[in-house]
Structure 1
Amino acid sequence: MEIVLVGRSNVGKSSIIRQLTGKKVVVGKRPGVTRRITRYQVGKMDIVDMPGFGFMSRVPRFLQEKIKTEIVRYLENNRKEIVLAMEVVDARSFSEIAERWQKRGQIPVDVEMFSFLNELNLSPIVVINKIDLIPNTYRDVVLDDICDKLGLPPPWRQWVDVLAPVSAKTGEGIPELKKIIKRRIHALGLGRYLGWLK
């Protein structure tokens, strides 16, 4: 049984895993630290940290494409083992990057991944990390915009089982994310695998 985390480089996937599990997870300050698929065993469950996709400075384009292909192939080949997928996005940069792609007439890679996870019937949780860097008065606007770009009609608060604003740095929102994970896993009748999630 696996929980898989995907997302762009440097959005904080490894830091989220550390917050959820308490395990020592290697995290980096620059994009592309996680270059290979990494597994962390927690009880009878595996947490799978996928390499970051998208732009990485000092990483050749062909390697960036290879990483993205590996992620897609892994998700397709291991679908039966995956009980939950989480796509981690950066609250500060998601909308700006998505708009840049849309202006070029392209589907943003984060949006494409969200659609792909849904096509696999993984009903992903979108973990919106670094929310501590968004002023409180502006958060609903940012979250509504992320919602809209993912094809989910705003306001974001109607998607509280899909969207989880958190800060891996401060721990803000992590208890709520854990509750979403527990609800999802219990709904699958797999509550016995959740002993690690305190």
Structure 2
Amino acid sequence: MFENRPNRDAEVVFVGRSNVGKSTLMRELTGHSGFNTGKKPGVTRKPNHFDWAAESFMFTDLPGFGFMSGVEEGRREQIKTNIVHYIEDNADSILAAVLVVDGKSVIDIIDRHTNDEEIPHDVEMFYFLEELDVPAIVAVNKMDKVDDRDERLNDLCDRLGLFPPWEQWEGEVVAPISAKRGSIEPLKEALRFHFHEAKRDDLLKFVK
């Protein structure tokens, strides 16, 4: 299990497959450059807590799950288990969980892993957050590389069990972004919604 969690009573966690741009997104959201990023999947192996504020609040970048180059399967499964336990253990203090997916490849990845015995990691994580009553935001990253934007987002909603059109979930669940280009306003809008719902308007300044 992950240790040394800062003693904060509210947090937003970021989860997702390796190499979907979580760390780049964290850097863009916080303005902090201390997050490891790289072309090699699996750079982040332990939680990165960004707890700079005087408020009892932090953003947490959890390690990527799924395939990681050079990491054997047992270790990959352990990381995924640790992520699940971290979210379970801290569910009461998690104001929102941001599930980051690669807008360009997410549908292919989900469909490739869909069969009777296996639920794709992204879908499984989304359902898991729902079961824990942790508000889930799906940050669909790298949308600058997607041509058929509405169709792709509708397909993603369909795979997650959300009725299309995707626009009905905009501002609350589905946030199309491009972290590398600094285009993350839809995610900030969704976070503002969940902070307000949690009666934590004091945190809105972190997502201006």
Q: Is the 8 A contact 1:42 1:196 kept in 2?
A: no
After superposition, where does 1:65-144 map in structure 2 within 5 Å? 65-103=77-115, 105-135=117-147, 138-144=148-154
After superposition, where does 1:1-198 map in structure 2 within 5 Å? 1-24=10-33, 25-43=35-53, 44=55, 45-103=57-115, 105-135=117-147, 138-160=148-170, 161-172=172-183, 174-198=184-208
Q: Structure 1 CA distance, aligned partners of 2:90 and 2:117?
A: 32
Question: What is the deviation of 1:105?
Answer: 4.3
Q: Structure 1 CA distance, aligned partners of 2:99 and 2:128?
A: 11
Counting aligned pairs with the same residue, the percent is 47
2:179 match: secondary structure: coil
Q: Structure 1 CA distance, aligned partners of 2:203 and 2:165?
A: 33
Structure 1's consecutive aligned runs of 4 or more residues displaced over 2 angstroms after TM superposition are 193-198
Q: TM-score, normalised by structure 1?
A: 0.94
> Gaps spanning 5+ residues in structure 2: where?
1-9
Q: Structure 1 CA distance, aligned partners of 2:48 and 2:93?
A: 15
Q: Which has the higher contact order (CA 8 A, sep 6+)?
A: 1
Q: Is the 8 A contact 2:95 2:135 kept in 1?
A: no
Q: Structure 1 CA distance, aligned partners of 2:153 and 2:82?
A: 30
Aligned-CA RMSD value: 1.2
> Gaps spanning 5+ residues in structure 1: where?
none
Question: What is the deviation of 1:41?
Answer: 1.3
Q: Structure 2 CA distance, aligned partners of 1:2 and 1:23?
A: 16
2:113 match: secondary structure: helix
Bigger Cα displacement from structure 2, 1-10 vs 40-49: 40-49
Q: Structure 1 CA distance, aligned partners of 2:132 and 2:84?
A: 11
Deviations 1:108-166 (A, max 9, x none): 1110000000111012000000001112xx11111111110011111111110200000
1:194 match: secondary structure: helix
Q: Which amino acid aligns with 1:7?
A: G
Pair 1:42–1:185, CA change in 2 (3 A):
farther
